[in-house]
Each structure stands twice: as C-alpha cells, then as structure tokens.
Structure 1
Amino acid sequence: MTEFDLVIRGGEIHDGSGRRASVGDIAISGGTVAAVGSVPGKGREEIDAKGKIVAPGFVDIHTHYDGQALWENRMAPSSNHGVTSVIMGNCGVGFAPCRPHQRDMLVELMEGVEDVPEVVMTKGLPWNWETFPQYLDALEVRQLDVDVAAQVPHSALRVYVMGERAASREPPTSEDLAQMRALTTEAIRAGALGVSTSRNILHRTVAGELAPSLHSEEEELLSLAAGLNDAGAGVFQIIPDIIGDAQSEFGLMRRIAAASRRPLSFSLLQMATGDPSAWRNYLKELESANNDGLRMKAQVFPRPVGLLYGLELSFHPFSLHPSFRALRDLPLAEKVRAMRDPVLRAKLLAERPQDPNPVYVNIVNSFGHAYLMGDPPDYEPDPRDSIKRQAELRNVTPHEYAYDLLLRDEGRAILFLPGANYRDGNLDVAREMAIHPHTVLGLGDGGAHYGMICDASFPTFVLQNWVRDAKLGKNIDLAMAIRALSQEPAQLVGLDDRGLLAPGYVADVNVIDLDGLRLHAPTVVYDLPAGGRRLRQGADGFVATIKNGAITYRDGVHTGALPGRLVRGAQAAPKSKGARKRA
C-alpha cells in the first residue's frame, strides 16, 4: 500500500536554507512536501537519489516569458536548468494593459528591447485581454512546465494611460499619474507580484526610439510606488541609468523604496565601458540603505552577460552592412554559399554597418572583443583569444578574421562577447557581486533575446563553475549556492511557499548528478510561432526535476507533465505540515 505520491530516496539533501546537507529521503503528497528525513512509507513512484544532490526547484526572478507562456507550454531554456518558478514582466516591458489599437506599439517595443521577432508575437499572441487583470486571467488557464508570476510593466502602463503621448515621452498630467497609480494598485490586487520600470538608455524600439518609460520624471515613478503602497503588497523592480551617476541613481531608488514601503530590486552589472567602479558604489549605497531599514536588493548575474553573434542570429559583424540585406532572410546554406563568393566577401569587408538604431550599430561594432564559442562553452575566456588579438597574430583585420570564423561548421559558428561582469580576463567581479549579502541571482532573461543572448542557463553554470570546478579560493559553498538559486530569490518577490525543502512547502525539487553536470553550447532551433528561431542551451546532470510533485524532466527530457500554473500574488510560508496557500 502506497502512502505518498513520490518518494526521493537516499539523496544528499540541500534544503535551500544554506544549512549543512544531510542524507535522507523526501516524501511528496498532493503537490507539497510531506516529510523530510527517514521515510519508511512507500511512494506510488520512487526515485533513487543515492550519490546525488537533492535541492529545491530554482526560482528565476528576471525573465520575459510574458508571450511564450501564452503560445507554448514549456518555458525553455529555463526549465532545462532546474528552474521551476519564473517571474516575468521585467524591464518595464510586456503586453498588458493594452488597448487593441496600442498592440503594435508594445510589439515594436518588445522586439527592440528584448529581441523577440515581430512575426513571432503577431502569430503567437492571442490578445484575449485588455486590462492587466484580464491578462492574468488569460495566463490562469495555461498548463505549463513551471509556475509563472507576472509584474505590471511601466511602459505598457504608460502607453495604456497616455497613448501616443507616452511614445513621444511627454510628461504626464496629474490625471495620468492618478490613473497609473490606481492601475498599479488594481494589478497588484489582481495578483501581480510587483511593478517594473527601466531607465536603461539601451532600451529602444527597433527603429531606435527610446522606451516610453525611459525618461519618466521622479514624480511618475513615485506614483507607481504609491500604487504598491496603496495595495500593501508587491515589489518595485527597476533598471537604473547605466551611464548615470551611481549615487544619484541610488538616491532615486531609495526614495522609491521609502514611498512604496515595499521591497525594491535593481539590476546591477559591471559594465565593460564607463566607470569601472560604479558597481562598488552601488553596493556601498545598498549596504547603507539596508542598514537604514530599507528592503533593497541588487539583481546580479554570476557570469558575463554574453552577446552572441552568428549567421543564424540577430547580429554578426556584417549583419547591418548594405550588401548583406539581400541575404538576411535566406536559409543558412544559401547565406554561406553567397558569402564564400570572393566578390561579395570584398564588398562586405569594405562596408560599414548602417542602421537607424545606434544601439544595434554599437553591438555590431563591438565584435572585436568577442571569442569563438566552443562546446563546452568557456565563459571566462583568455583575452589572448579575442578576435582582435587573434587577427593581429595572423596579420589580418578583425573583420577578415571574423568573416572566416562565421563560415565554420557550415555557418553555425557562434561568437561570444562578454558584455559585462568580465574584466582583465576573469570573473572576479561577478563572484564578488554574487556572494554579497544584499544581492540576489537573476538577469537570466529567459523568453527574450531569442537571437542574441542565452543566459537562462546560469543555474547550471553556478553549480558547475562556481561550486564544482572553481579554482581554489574562488569556490562558492554548495549549500549557499543552492540557497542563492532557490530560497533567496523566492523570498525577495514574496513567494515564501517555495525554495525550501520542508513539510508543507511546494514540492519543487531537483535531483542532480553534480559530478556529471555539463553545460552545452547554445544551438539554434526554429520552433517559435511562424517558424521563428531562438537559442536553446541544454545540460547534462539533471537526473530529475519535479514541479508541484510531478516529474517534469528526466535526464533533461520532458516527460509531458505540465503541472505549472499562474501564481497570483505573494504566497505565505506554510504554517503547518501540508498547509499551502495558492491564491
């Protein structure tokens, strides 16, 4: 006679709290953890975890699955790397609220900021909502491989209230501010986890127009904060001005946190250009704010934020050259055949990028600092292997060298540009930010940047590179790494019912072969709506991933189970065994 739905036997249990591991069993019933320790009762299904790591399901608080959750059931690549809960609606961009005549504006913004092709959204989005509560209703009927929670995006909110005035970044009226405040409160009460905005100058439409929220005055941002305060719930997520003064930007964020009386998180990177010490200034200000009683965290990334170039991807060194335009939409084999023509090669090498979006031009012009990505990928490359340095050794131009690299493997070669968190050939800055007491791991951007970034694999990277394979003195303790991937991000956004393996908590579990963990290089697949392409990145070593008590992945292969649902609002920690609230 079986007593439990599932029992995981004899694993090294890291419960997500950061405490020392213990060897034991985990019993699951009804989608929650029923027992941890020695479990004599039988399970309807059992997993032998001897010699394996048993950890909570990972929580990724910075994704853009706002559209993907509506047109497909699997939130890959995040769910390929042990992630069982994702938060979307980041960076101030999304699809709700939205009036029917404003859809094109939000699609153009998402295409420019998050590199989601327009045709994919046109084909994939059902648009069966207008208000943010209606958007949540559309998500609620979805069956997924992970749980999803949403934030209300500032740019969409601004466009909804102000229409064309928002796109031209006019200042709001007092009536506009009052409406944005009220709609923020409405969204939180309907189940949004928070509100998000961006001050990042790189966030533009395809045509190069700045995001509607970008230069919003403090009064407008404080109106959103007041909306959270009115609701008495939610988190404020913000991307500060990457070229702004750290002290000034942080002062603004302190005032937002004080006005909202709610937690605030902001994106923090060590940029490849600009003030190299800005990240330290932010951390100093962060420590001071928390000492003063403000609940503020920096979202940081544990490896370089890496731009990828390739003939199948959104950008490469010649993608914006006039002579390449005729090749842009050709199948890969035809592109390669054309580029092997010495006449076209000479033309492309003689041209320079042309595009109305200066961000795109800058991306293309930065390729000299990129590296040929191998398999397995090296996210801490030797500076001597950069395209620029290797071209110098060969007495050719960087463009000539990159041209030949792109034609390798029948045009499937990928170049990797460490855009942030990589300096002087090492990731010391990324590590220092990752272990800081007031930071939380995030910024994986799953569901976005389909043709230029594949960073949702960071949980695997943390376990492989910072725990198992780190150089002496640079390793991160396994228990603390698992806590950073599970309980810490869950608590930041108010999902206190998960991220911990204890009775009554959500039964989200990973069984991991740490010795066999291996991160593969990204590959291109064409499986989006309308045949759109995206980057995927797999991993070995995930023996099983369990979501809400159901096994969703075995050895990296989807089982077909779709137990994931929309989570509405903050979730309290269980008060007793078996207790679990899902609003």
Structure 2
Amino acid sequence: MTYDLLIKGGTIIDGTGTQRYKGNVAIKDGRIAAVGDVDGEATQVIDAAGLIVAPGFIDCHTHYDAQMFWDPTIDPATWHGITTIVVGNCGFTLAPVRPDDKPYALGLFSATEEVPMDVLEQNTSIDWETFPEYLDKLEKVECGVNVLTQFGHAAVRRYVMGEDSLKREATTAEIGEMVRLAEEAMKAGAWGVSTSFSPHHIDGSGGHVPSFFAADDETEALAVAVGRMGRRSFALNPRSKREGISPEDKALMSRLAKASGITISWNDFGAGAADWLGTLEFMEEEIRQGRDVRVVARCQPAETRYNLSQISPLYSGQAAWREFCGLPREQQMAAMADPAWRARLAEYWKGVRFLAAASVEKVDNPKLKPLVGRYLIDIAEERGVDPIDLMFDIALDDGLDTIFLLRGRFKADESDAERILRSPSTLIGVSDGGAHLQTFAGADFPTYFLQHWVREKGTFTLEEGVAALTSEVADFMGIKDRGTLAPGLAADVVIFDADKVQPELLETKPFPGGTAMRLVKRARAVPYVIVNGTPIIEKGERTSAVPGLLLRA
C-alpha cells in the first residue's frame, strides 16, 4: 500500500497513558492506517527522529464561535498542537436566533467575550435561525481544525422568551420548548448543553445574560435532556467562583449530576480561589458517591490585562463598574476623582486577593514610566498609601490609558495548583480561545503544561501529560475516534520536541479591518500539526490547508 503520509523514527506516545516507544505512523485517507512497526511507500514522509509523536490536543473550552467565520487558521490554537476545539461554551451560541434579534446575539458575544462589535458585524453574517441550520452553515465553513459545538442555554432562553428572558423565571411551557429545541440541536449534532449564571457575564446593554435568570428546575430539565439524548456534557459557569463556590452552587451541581446521570462540569478553577481545597474535596466526594462533578482548570498562571476605562471580566459583575465604563472618557475622569464615585468603585477591590498580583504594564505619561513593571502593593508600601487609591491615581494621571497586568507572583501557590491538577475531578483546559482577545491569550495551555508541569516540575510524566491533553478530554466529551493514536482512528497528530516545547512571548495582531489589536502567542518546538491526515503546521510554519471538519455527535 502507498500511504498518504508516513511519520518515521519518532517516539510514539499514543495518548492512553501507556509507555512510549519508537515507531512509525502511517496515514491513509485521513485515518491512521498503522502504528509501530510499519513502513512502505508514501506520498509524504516526515522524519520525526528525536521528536514525540502524539495525538492532536483537544481544547474543550473555547469561544471561537465567531472567529471561525473570519479566521480559518483559528490562531493561535493551532501553533500549540490543538487539532479539535469545542465551542458553544458558557451558554453562548450564535443559534438559535430570531431574525430580528441578531444584534442582541452579536452584542452578547462582544460584551462578554471582548470581541469588538464592528469586527463581529463585518465578519459574522448570520443567515440562519435554528441550531440545525447553524450546524449546516458550519459544515461549509473552511477551518483548519475540527469543531464540536454545544447548545447554548442563554441563546435558547432568549429565543423562547425574548425580552422576558432578562426579567423572570420561565413557565412550564417555556421550559418545555427550551428542552424541545435542545433535543432538536442534539439530534442535529450538538454535543451537550452549556450555561452560565456568572454575574460577570454581561450582554451588550451591560445587564446579566438570559441564563442568569433561570430557576434550578429549568436548568435541571436541560441537564436531564442531555442525559436522555445520550450525550455526556453539561457545562456551567456558577454564580459563585472567585469568592469560593457557594453551598447553593454545590447543591445545584450535585442535584444536576444525580438527576441527569451525566458529567456536570464547571470551568476556570485555580489555587487563587477562596476555599479552593474545600471545593476540590466536594467534587472528589461527589465522584465517590457516584455523581460526576468535575472542573476544567487552568494550568498556567493568571495573566490578565485591564484598563480601568473599559469593562473587564474582572469587574463586569459589579453594577458600579458597568455604569462607570459606559460613561464618556471626560465623565469617567471626573467620576474617578469624585470621592463618592471613588468609594463605589473601590468597594469591589477591597479584599480581592489577586490585587496583590497587579502591576503597571504600560503608561503614556512619561512621568509614570518608572512605575512600569512594578507591583502596585510595592509602590503603595513605599509611598504609605492604599494600593486601590494608588491604582486609581496612576490611572487618572495617565488619562485613564494605563494598562495594568495581573500575573501570578507567589511560588507558594504552586503546591496548591499541583493538588488541583492531579485531582481525579480535574480536566486540563479553559483556554477561552476566541474570547478576551485584548485581555489575555490562553490558547498556549498545552505547550505551557508540557513545559512547566511535565518537563520542569515533573508533576506529570510525559505519558500522563499527553493523556491529559488528549484521551481524557475525548472521553469527557464522548469523542470516539480521536484522542489516541490507533489504526482506524482519525489522523490528528502533533509532533513536538519534549525538551524544548513551550509558548513563545506574547505578541499582538490586528483584528480584520485593523480597528483593534488582539493578543496571541506562538509555540516553540512544535514543527508539525496534522488534522485529518493533512499538515496544517509544517516545519514550524502554517500551511494553507483547511482540513478541519464539523464533528457531529
């Protein structure tokens, strides 16, 4: 047989967690034809000597829903070995949507996911209404990676209830219609349902998103529908998180897991969260009791940029900050200098643990240049002032143009993070790729994980690390033909140098039209990324190939 592609001489880590071995991988018609002791003629041969050959990585928490329409490369995910993405998270999907409600759908994405509205309007032409129609559209979109989508609770609640979705609980009839539409979506290929109750998620008007107002009975009905349809995933963003998961949220997750019989997952958990250990022990006990409650956790340090004149996921849940960020710049300057306004704005920051990790990243005022790179608490201690007042004063002196940076700074948190990442209740992920593009770039999590937690810390063996990025995520989502290297499975492959793999430094790229900039990171030592048998990264550079598929459940 003549193969389409033969990867020769590499060290194979097949994604199952079993021991690595030397061998070849043969690919034919987009599928793995043979693994191990295989040779023969091939149209293309890749020399993988000295490199790891592994299944393509799967990112289970992204927001590339809109980016897919204007960026077939799904930048920067592909640089980091990601070959499959899951969209439709946090309850946000671009379907179902009524013809006269398209501005609301785009406004919600713009506000919560921090994608400029003009970029969405110019590059996302919504010519569908139902979720099956949306999937048919996605099937025609050229994309470099495979795409799975969940069904969004916020979207369907808005579709069924209209403006009332932002005001009240749903009636029994309305819940029934939401369930019917969710089942219709899953029959068409949706992989599950996602929702959000987070006060930090806002729509285009600055108010809470529709799913925020759902009663527990409504949420349970959707979760039960997922189980009834044979799907595996119900993903939620809880009401509490930064201040610690509340007893009410824990009770809801336990209730949903028991009623549905499926995995209930939530996202974005780290060692900086209040009572993180109690939350982790709660999930581990739920699993022991037969209720599958899990978290998708970040593995890289927090690195979030914010400008106090603009709404940020850090404080979008606060009414005072939403009001402040909606003011014209001159009124913002006056408000921040006003004692009453200042007290309202400062209230959120009091007792916030991560303020200790805030530094000054960029200023326009030359007099403030010596502060760049320094932590606010260090400057405040020198001056004998409150760090919150200091932050506001720096911003005012800079015309509210200052960029502040939150970055993890305390090494003591590493042991806490290890405990979280090694827990049986934890999945590795939460890139938030496609969202918060002016705040952070989280699509580098696979290469950071391999660099830091595998190579440098030794918290995971390389075999365990690859499994965490591949088969464990595939099992979690119910993906049958990806996540491992085995004959007959889809030929999604990443080839990397285990001794050198890591993210590159942060850089900026323009959005389409050049109206704003977005943050991206490339990867080091990932020379080949292959999707459905076709290289999309070859010798470290992106090809023009777009072999990705819409994967229907």
Q: TM above 0.5, one fold? A: yes
Instruction: State whether structure 2 residue 456 is matched by structure 1 residue 469.
Output: yes
Q: Which runs of no fewer than 5 residues in structure 2 stay unpaired?
A: 316-320, 363-372
For residues 530 and 359 of structure 1, the distance between their equivalents in structure 2, rounded to whole angstroms, comes to: 34
Contact 2:245/2:279 (<8 A) preserved? no
Q: CA deviation at 1:113?
A: 1.8
Instruction: State whether structure 2 residue 446 is matched by structure 1 residue 442.
Output: no
Contact 2:349/2:355 (<8 A) preserved? no
For residues 311 and 542 of structure 1, the distance between their equivalents in structure 2, rounded to whole angstroms, comes to: 37
2:192 corresponds to: 194
2:252 corresponds to: 252
Question: In the TM superposition, what are the counterparts of 1:37-436 in structure 2 within 5 Å?
Answer: 37-168=36-167, 170-242=168-240, 243=243, 245-270=245-270, 272=272, 276-277=274-275, 279-309=276-306, 325=329, 369-371=357-359, 386-390=375-379, 392-393=381-382, 398-399=390-391, 415-418=404-407, 425-436=412-423
For residues 329 and 93 of structure 2, the distance between their equivalents in structure 1, rounded to whole angstroms, comes to: 29
For residues 415 and 390 of structure 1, the distance between their equivalents in structure 2, rounded to whole angstroms, comes to: 14
Letter in 2 for 1:238: L
Cα distance change on mapping 1:505 and 1:415 into 2, 3 Å: farther
Return 532-541 or 285-294, whichever deviates more.
285-294
1:34 corresponds to: 33
For residues 392 and 306 of structure 2, the distance between their equivalents in structure 1, rounded to whole angstroms, comes to: 15
Q: CA deviation at 1:394?
A: 7.2
Q: Aligned residues, how many? A: 527
For residues 152 and 183 of structure 1, the distance between their equivalents in structure 2, rounded to whole angstroms, comes to: 9
What's the secondary structure of 2:190's corresponding residue? coil
Residue-by-residue CA offset, 1:90-137 (whole Å, 9 max, x unaligned): 111121111022222222222222212221211111101101111111
Contact 1:542/1:554 (<8 A) preserved? no
Contact 1:313/1:452 (<8 A) preserved? no
Cα distance change on mapping 1:244 and 1:37 into 2, 3 Å: closer
2:370 corresponds to: none
Contact 1:151/1:194 (<8 A) preserved? yes
Residue-by-residue CA offset, 1:395-423 (whole Å, 9 max, x unaligned): 7974499669999xxx9x9653148xx76
Instruction: State whether structure 2 residue 511 is matched by structure 1 residue 514.
Output: no
1:379 corresponds to: none
For residues 202 and 505 of structure 2, the distance between their equivalents in structure 1, rounded to whole angstroms, comes to: 29
For residues 25 and 69 of structure 1, the distance between their equivalents in structure 2, rounded to whole angstroms, comes to: 33
1:331 corresponds to: none
Return 115-124 or 158-167, whichever deviates more.
115-124
Cα distance change on mapping 1:321 and 1:205 into 2, 3 Å: closer
Cα distance change on mapping 1:73 and 1:177 into 2, 3 Å: same
Contact 2:270/2:298 (<8 A) preserved? no
Question: In the TM superposition, what are the counterparts of 1:424-573 in structure 2 within 5 Å?
Answer: 425-470=412-457, 475-528=459-512, 531-569=515-553
Return 553-562 or 27-36, whichever deviates more.
553-562
Contact 1:321/1:348 (<8 A) preserved? no
Cα distance change on mapping 1:322 and 1:548 into 2, 3 Å: closer
Contact 1:200/1:240 (<8 A) preserved? yes
For residues 451 and 419 of structure 2, the distance between their equivalents in structure 1, rounded to whole angstroms, comes to: 17
2:366 corresponds to: none
1:380 corresponds to: none
For residues 543 and 359 of structure 1, the distance between their equivalents in structure 2, rounded to whole angstroms, comes to: 47
Q: CA deviation at 1:261?
A: 2.6
Letter in 2 for 1:388: I
Contact 1:311/1:406 (<8 A) preserved? no
Q: CA deviation at 1:53?
A: 1.3
Contact 1:55/1:501 (<8 A) preserved? yes
What's the secondary structure of 1:528's corresponding residue? coil
Cα distance change on mapping 1:314 and 1:245 into 2, 3 Å: closer
Residue-by-residue CA offset, 1:259-299 (whole Å, 9 max, x unaligned): 223222222513746xx32x322322222222233333211
What's the secondary structure of 1:213's corresponding residue? helix
Q: Percent identity?
A: 33
